[in-house]
Amino acid sequence: MTVEFRQIEIADTDAFRAAIDIVARERKYIALTEAPPIEQVRAFVTRNVERGYPQIIAVIDGAVVGWCNVPPASRAVSAHVGDLFMGLLPDVRGRGFGEQLLRQAVQAADTFGFRRIELGVFASNVAAAALYRKIGFVEEGTKRMAILVDGTYHDEIIMARLKD
């Protein structure tokens, strides 16, 4: 199985949204229960492409099987901060692709000029938290009951990595 890791292109929008939808519907790894509307995803991808924001995708046989995007934080005073979001389809987990994807996205974020990358991860997602630690992210705290899915509250671990 050959996986291509690369910066997203606008033509990848539909496949990217489909991947988000699969992971979101699992209801345990990302803070979505379904993918956003295609218009919203298209605007997000277009903005990332036009502004050069890091958004690395993993592609197998033309299908997006994972993503890791690092857009800037929303406030002007945090322009040096990237907010990391990632996901992998169930069929490709546990094969090292997440680490490759994350390393490429972090490198792209460093090249872009972010001095800090931050993320939130479900406290129950032990494997993802361990991967982030392996890449140099440090736990900064836990937001208790931060996410509510199907009547169940989930704690969210807040992690960050500072550029050396």
Q: Please state the rounded mean pLDDT for residues 76-100.
A: 95
DSSP label at residue 95: S
Number of domains in the chain: 1
Q: Is the per-residue pLDDT at 1 higher than 80?
A: no
State residue 164's pLDDT score. 77
Q: Tens digit of pLDDT for each residue in 25-84?
A: 999 999 999 999 999 999 999 999 999 999 999 999 999 999 999 999 988 899 999 999
Question: Is residue 145 one of the residues assigned to a domain?
Answer: no
The domain of 26 spans 3-119
- pLDDT tens-digit series, residues 131-155: 999 999 999 999 999 999 999 999 9
Assigned domain for 29 exists: yes
Query: What's the CATH code of the domain at 16?
Result: 3.40.630.30
Query: How far apart are alpha carbons 152 and 161 in whole angstroms?
Result: 29
Q: Does residue 101 form part of some domain?
A: yes
Kindly state whether residue 154 falls inside one of the protein's structural domains: no
Within a domain: 137: no
Of 108, 88, 109, give the one whose Cα is nearest residue 98: 88
Q: Could you identify the residue written with the tokens 């032990």?
A: 126
Return d(Cα 97, Cα 144) in angstroms, integer. Answer: 30
